[in-house]
C-alpha cells in the first residue's frame, strides 16, 4: 500500500471560509499532483509539482492554490470556499520507476461547501 496521506477525509464548510487540504507522502517522490473528481466523472488534474518550490496549474482551471516547501508535503488551499468547489480532491505522487512514473493516490478528501 502506498504511503500517501490526506486530511481531512471529509469536510463540510460554509461559503466564504478558507480551507487547506493536506497531502503528505513518505516515499520521497519528487512529483506530486492534485486531482478533482466529481461523481461518475473522470479525474481532472488541477495542480502539479516537479519538486520543492515548483508548482504548475493543470488542465482544469481551479481557484485553489498549492505550495511545495518540503518534498513530502503538498497542501492545497481555497481562500474563499464556494458551493461550486464541492467535489472530491485526490492527491497523488510519483517517482521514477521502470514502468514510467507510476502514480500513487491518497484516499481523497470529500469537500462539501454549503
Partner 1 sequence: KNQVEQSPQSLIILEGKNCTLQCNYTVSPFSNLRWYKQDTGRGPVSLTIMTFSENTKSNGRYTATLDADTKQSSLHITASQLSDSASYICVVSDRGSTLGRLYFGRGTQLTVWP
| Contact residues for partner 1, defined by CB under 8 A | 4, 6, 31, 40-45, 48, 50, 88, 90, 92, 94, 99-108, 110
Comparing CB distances to partner 1, the nearer of 12 and 41 is 41
Q: How far apart are CA 29 and CA 54, in angstroms?
A: 13
Comparing CB distances to partner 1, the nearer of 22 and 102 is 102
Comparing CB distances to partner 1, the nearer of 25 and 64 is 25
Classify residue 48 by burial, with Cβ atoms within 10 Å: 0-12, 13-18, 19+: buried
Q: How far is the CB of 16 from partner 1 (least distance, A)?
A: 26
Q: How far is the CB of 79 from partner 1 (least distance, A)?
A: 25
Say how far residue 63 (Cα) sits from the centre of its chain. 13
Q: How far apart are CA 8 and CA 2, in angstroms?
A: 18
Q: How far is the CB of 101 from partner 1 (least distance, A)?
A: 4
Q: How far is the CB of 12 from partner 1 (least distance, A)?
A: 15
The CA-atom distances, in angstroms, between 15 and each of 18, 39, 79, 82, 86 are 9, 21, 11, 5, 11
Amino acid at each position: 500500500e502506498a504511503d500517501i496521506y490526506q486530511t481531512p477525509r471529509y469536510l463540510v464548510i460554509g461559503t466564504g471560509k478558507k480551507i487547506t487540504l493536506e497531502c503528505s507522502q513518505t516515499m520521497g517522490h519528487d512529483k506530486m499532483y492534485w486531482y478533482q473528481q466529481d461523481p461518475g466523472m473522470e479525474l481532472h488534474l488541477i495542480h502539479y509539482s516537479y519538486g520543492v518550490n515548483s508548482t504548475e496549474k493543470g488542465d482544469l482551471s481551479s481557484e485553489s492554490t498549492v505550495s511545495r516547501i518540503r518534498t513530502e508535503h503538498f497542501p492545497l488551499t481555497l481562500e474563499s470556499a464556494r458551493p461550486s468547489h464541492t467535489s472530491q480532491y485526490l492527491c497523488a505522487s510519483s517517482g521514477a520507476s521502470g514502468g514510467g512514473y507510476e502514480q500513487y493516490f491518497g484516499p481523497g478528501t470529500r469537500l462539501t461547501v454549503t
